[in-house]
Amino acid sequence: MDAPLLSEHELIRPWRRATLVASLVAAVELVLLVLIAALLIAKPLARSVQVHAENRAFAPAAKAAPVLPKTVAVGLPHLARQETGVFVLNGNGHAGAAAGAARRMSGLGYVVRHTGNASRQNYAATVVMFRPGFRAEATRLAADLHVKAVSPLDGIAPAALYGAHLAVIVGAG
């Protein structure tokens, strides 16, 4: 049987196709090998990371430095309640708030020197402020009123206190 003669170009084409197919197969095999290697390495690596995280989470806590108390020792008040003058200011904008607080303080034995309005009316919480040397009295008054904020005079001159030792700004809360 006679086979037709192939031209020079027809002899080259099958080699070109074969090379492209072989290269494509090799590239697919390479990608598959890389994926398999990544999966084989990833599983032990993930387990190692998990074990390390568990060991760290369940390890005993390191001994922390001692926490200093947030309170300041104030000592005992020098003045009795009947000797402690208080200036009451309305800082929440509600009419009669200062007068109501003044009645409450008078009922506790404090001397209310004067009532009035604060320079601003947006205080969120009641504040007890003290003149220098009367921190202990301010702390006692704050405890009597169940107020947490105690601070030195801020924005009020001691001369404007009508002779009071403490100032209370009645806030909204």
* pLDDT tens digit sequence for 120-157: 999 999 999 999 999 999 999 999 999 999 999 988 88
Q: What is the pLDDT of residue 8?
A: 63
Per-residue pLDDT at 4 exceeds 90:
no
Report how far residue 105's alpha carbon sits from residue 141's, in angstroms, rounded to the nearest whole number: 9
Q: What is the pLDDT of residue 6?
A: 62
Helix (H) or strand (E) holding 114: strand 111-117
Three-class SS state of 50: helix
* pTM as predicted: 0.58
Cα torsion 170, 171, 172, 173: sign: negative
Percent of the chain with pLDDT over 90: 55
Amino acid residing at 169: I
103 vs 72, residue with greater confidence: 103
Amino acid residing at 66: P
73 vs 111, residue with greater confidence: 111
* pLDDT tens digit sequence for 20-59: 889 999 999 999 999 998 888 888 888 888 888 888 888 7
Q: What is the pLDDT of residue 69?
A: 60
Report how far residue 123's alpha carbon sits from residue 94's, in angstroms, rounded to the nearest whole number: 11
Helix, strand, coil distribution of the chain in percent, nearest 5: 45, 15, 40
Cα torsion 158, 163, 166, 168: sign: negative
